[in-house]
Amino acid sequence: MAGQSLLETITDSFAPVHRDGHKFVAIGLAVTLLLLWILPTLGWIAALVTAWIIYFFRDPDRVTPLRDGLIVAPADGKVSLIEKVRPPAELDLGDAERVRISIFLSVFDVHIQRSPLAGRIIRSLYVPGAFLNAAMDKASEENERRTIVVETAAGLKVAVVQIAGLVARRIVTFADEGDNIGVGERFGLIRFGSRVDTYLPPGAFPAVAVGQRAIGGETVLSDLRSTEPEREARQH
């Protein structure tokens, strides 16, 4: 197979800007041009801010594994918490304990969220709340958030919760309750820095470890067909 040309290598390093970011980029460019005309020093600062906005709203393509039984990461970021909990009543998932995997997104991560598996969105719920540090455990129950619950054809239910943080002040969802959604398909984003929780089906083991970097739509969070116990790992 022929290698990539230099131009292809360079262009592959850039990702398109998601449509939700177009208005912010347009505002940034307008402010930059105005300041470059009247106050050049501030104009260059505005240009850097605009470049960061373009970077923040990047929306790269992902290669999603399609085998049944795989649950993929809904977001980019660091796996910050893995614990067994009873899901909040708002999820309507019953009282059985489930593994909750929390992914913390810094302002430098891709902020597009993707469905962890294929199915139908049977619940989409917005909950107003506080704007605590998203890395805190209680952010799952106290911060502003939006939940979607995806049910597979086999009746398995997985919940994904978009959680606002100290900086994030806007949760955006592209999919509605009742919609069918494919694994890895985009369903929302959070502006600007946040956390995403995934509640696995009862009895499912995580295939990731705390401290690991997850790639939305690609990293496998759990394999429902696997008999492997919860993984042990170390950071070095």
pTM equals 0.83
Q: Which of 194, 185, 183, 190 is nearest to 221 (CA)?
A: 183
- From the candidates 80, 102, 140, 194, give the one annotated as an active-site residue: 194
Looking at residues 145-152, what average pLDDT do you find?
90
Q: Is the pLDDT of residue 7 over 70?
A: no
Q: What is the dihedral of CA 105, 106, 110, 113, to 10 degrees?
A: 20
- Check if 5 is active-site: no
Q: What is the pLDDT of residue 1?
A: 46
- Between CA 67 and CA 131 the distance in angstroms is 37
Q: What is the pLDDT of residue 217?
A: 92
Q: Is the pLDDT of residue 134 over 70?
A: no
- Between CA 35 and CA 38 the distance in angstroms is 5
Query: Coil, helix or strand for 113?
Result: strand
**pLDDT tens digits, 17-62:** 777 778 888 988 998 899 889 888 888 998 998 888 888 888 888 9
